[in-house]
């Protein structure tokens, strides 16, 4: 039996991770000398970077996870403090107690994460995956593909076609995105529609005689259906995630993807996320030189790098909202909800038509937190606090540190599902891989929707329609017998 190794045997920090750590420290030092970052902030940021480096990269996902932690906890907060960019929220001074507490709590949280990973080290070793049998799908996969495409058709018919959907989204941008949602009541159908590109992909690539042309078409339709089912509604996740998931499906079930190809796919996903940023706000590319100015007019934001600042400091960081939450939680007038928002997130997955008076999600607490300091005109804020921020708002400072235990659980689950005899559950492993990263960026209601869309409506059904047939060529080449 032949096997392809997913990760290398070395258990040490990779060069890119070390470079990122150096960048974080240098950014703090340069900011210090330029007068943009004070000495305490520079020391705390450097300590936080060194704490992240202490996490042992026992597998490839952990290596990527360490790079992500360095970016979101070290590079971006220092960068935002140095640039002074404020995005719908006041940026607290560096010498404020809340900012210093955020760094100290984050350092404590990173060490909680590291110790949790050390306790589970036996379950985090690099795994090999079996490629001796070919993957295929049963006829039920085609049923799910048809159902998901039918969901797209239904939504387009109900909303009046593509051009009318574009008009509805433009109207939503002109009004409040929290007060007006043309997809209201269609949440489950939209979630099913978002899975269509993946179901079509597996039906085209996991066929007995899938040609290179068929594989190329399978990847092309990811962009087309991804846009129709998600992008046109201003949702970039539906395009980025299907690209990532499809690449991982191909890697695990069809043919291992080279490290170079994997890096290209990661860069492509990042570029797509950045390129779609102006479209999210109704800004086209008719005049590249004026994008930043039009972005500032459209969103009433003066940022040092225009949409790029928004992408970095709002999409990839939760520093400003979490420091504001710390300041709010420290007030004696603030009553801790003690987990109320998590109940609202669990209830959010129930269709509104079945439960009209569902408990409110975290939007209730976070809107109260930013109501006095935010610049949003809507009744409810759309700012994401990240799960540590939500734990902070629910359970106080201790809750923020405690939250860092949960990514360790996700990382263990991902690695356990990588065992050869768990190959049937590879689709579940694939959709779980982003969760340790998204835990620091999403709120509980968004995590719940992610679970419904990618786990319940794709990964679990995919696990049951997936089948494996012994590859005679592989078996004969390894000197074994085939059954």
Query: How much is the pLDDT for 288?
Result: 60
Instruction: State the DSSP code for 258.
Output: P
d(CA 26, CA 89): 27
Number of H helices, E strands in the chain: 26, 4
Please classify residue 112 by burial: count the beta carbons closer than 10 Å to its beta carbon, then call 0-12 exposed, 13-18 middle and 19+ buried. Answer: middle
DSSP assignment of 312-381 = IIIIS--HHHHHHHHHHHTSTTPPP-SSHHHHHHHHHTS-TTT-TTPPP-THHHHHHHHTTT----SSS-
Tens of pLDDT along the chain (483 residues) come to: 333 343 344 455 566 666 666 666 666 666 666 667 788 888 899 899 999 999 988 888 898 899 899 999 998 999 899 888 888 888 898 889 999 999 999 999 999 999 999 998 888 877 666 666 677 888 999 999 999 999 999 999 988 888 888 777 777 666 655 555 666 667 788 889 999 999 999 999 988 776 788 888 999 999 899 988 888 877 778 888 999 999 999 988 888 877 777 778 777 877 777 777 766 666 666 656 666 666 666 666 777 777 788 888 888 899 999 999 999 999 888 888 888 989 888 888 877 777 777 788 888 888 888 875 655 545 678 889 999 999 999 999 999 999 999 999 999 998 888 666 667 888 999 999 999 999 999 999 999 999 999 999 999 999 999 887 765 444 434 444 333
Letter string b/e over residues 451-474, b meaning 16 or more CB atoms within 10 A of that residue's CB: bbbbbebbbebbbebbeeeebeeb
d(CA 382, CA 402): 25
3-state secondary structure of 429: helix
Q: What phi, psi does 206 have (nearest 5°)?
A: -100, 35
Residue 332: CB atoms within 10 A of its CB come to 5
Tokens of 408: 């360790």
Q: What phi, psi does 258 have (nearest 5°)?
A: -65, 160
Letter string b/e over residues 208-217, b meaning 16 or more CB atoms within 10 A of that residue's CB: eeeeeeebee
Dihedral sign for Cα atoms in the order 287, 291, 296, 302? negative
* Closest by Cα among 349, 319, 338, 306 to 441: 319
- Alpha-carbon distance values, 39 to 28, 96, 185, 309, 317 (Å): 9, 13, 51, 24, 22
Residue 417: CB atoms within 10 A of its CB come to 20
Going by C-beta distance under 8 Å and a sequence separation of 6 or more, which residues neighbour residue 100? 40, 41, 44
Instruction: State the DSSP code for 286.
Output: S
d(CA 441, CA 446): 10
Residue 376: CB atoms within 10 A of its CB come to 17
pTM of this structure: 0.86
Whose tokens are 């170079």? That residue is 260
d(CA 1, CA 471): 10
Containing 279, the helix (H) or strand (E) segment is helix 277-280
Continuous H helices in 120-211:
140-159, 162-174, 187-194, 196-205
For the chain, give every domain's residue range: 3-128
* Closest by Cα among 86, 107, 130 to 44: 107
């Amino acid at each position: 039996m032949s096997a392809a190794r997913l990760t290398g045997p070395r258990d040490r920090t990779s060069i890119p991770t070390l470079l990122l750590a150096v960048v974080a420290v240098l950014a703090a030092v340069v900011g210090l000398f330029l007068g943009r970052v004070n000495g305490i902030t520079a020391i705390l940021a450097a300590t936080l970077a060194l704490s992240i480096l202490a996490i042992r990269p026992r597998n490839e996902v952990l290596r990527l996870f360490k790079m992500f932690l360095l970016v979101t906890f070290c590079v971006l907060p220092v960068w935002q403090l140095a640039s002074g960019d404020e995005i719908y929220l006041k940026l607290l001074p560096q010498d404020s107690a809340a900012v210093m507490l955020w760094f100290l709590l984050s350092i404590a949280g990173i060490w909680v994460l590291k110790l949790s990973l050390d306790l589970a080290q036996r379950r985090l070793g690099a795994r090999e995956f079996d490629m001796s049998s070919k993957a295929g799908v049963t006829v039920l996969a085609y049923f799910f593909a048809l159902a998901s495409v039918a969901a797209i058709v239904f939504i387009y018919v109900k909303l009046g076609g593509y051009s009318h959907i574009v008009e509805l989204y433009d109207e939503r941008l002109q009004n409040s995105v929290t007060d007006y949602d043309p997809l209201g009541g269609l949440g489950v159908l939209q979630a099913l529609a978002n899975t269509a590109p993946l179901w079509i992909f597996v039906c085209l690539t996991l066929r007995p005689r899938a040609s290179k042309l068929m594989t190329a078409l399978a990847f092309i339709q990811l962009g087309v259906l991804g846009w129709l089912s998600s992008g046109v509604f201003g949702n970039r996740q539906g395009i980025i995630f299907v690209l990532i998931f499809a690449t991982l499906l191909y890697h695990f079930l069809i043919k291992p993807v080279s490290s170079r190809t994997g890096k290209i796919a990661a860069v492509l996903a990042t570029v797509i996320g950045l390129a779609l940023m102006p479209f999210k706000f109704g800004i086209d590319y008719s005049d590249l030189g004026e994008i930043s100015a039009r972005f500032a007019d459209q969103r009433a934001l003066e940022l040092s790098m225009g949409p790029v600042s928004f992408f970095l400091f709002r999409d990839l960081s939760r520093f400003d909202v979490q420091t504001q939450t710390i300041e709010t939680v420290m007030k004696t007038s603030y009553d801790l909800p003690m987990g109320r928002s998590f109940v609202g997130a669990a209830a959010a997955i129930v269709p509104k038509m079945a439960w009209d008076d569902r408990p409110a999600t975290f939007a209730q607490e976070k809107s109260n937190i930013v109501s006095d300091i935010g610049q949003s005109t809507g009744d409810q804020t759309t700012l994401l606090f990240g799960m540590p921020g939500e734990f902070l708002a629910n359970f106080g400072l201790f809750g923020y540190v405690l939250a860092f235990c949960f990514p360790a659980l996700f990382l263990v689950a991902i690695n356990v599902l990588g065992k050869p005899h768990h190959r049937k559950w590879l689709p579940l492993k694939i959709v779980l891989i982003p969760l340790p990263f998204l835990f620091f960026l999403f709120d509980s209601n968004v995590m719940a929707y992610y679970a419904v869309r990618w786990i319940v409506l794709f990964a679990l059904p995919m696990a049951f329609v997936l089948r494996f047939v012994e590859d005679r060529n592989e078996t004969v080449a390894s000197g074994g017998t085939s059954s």
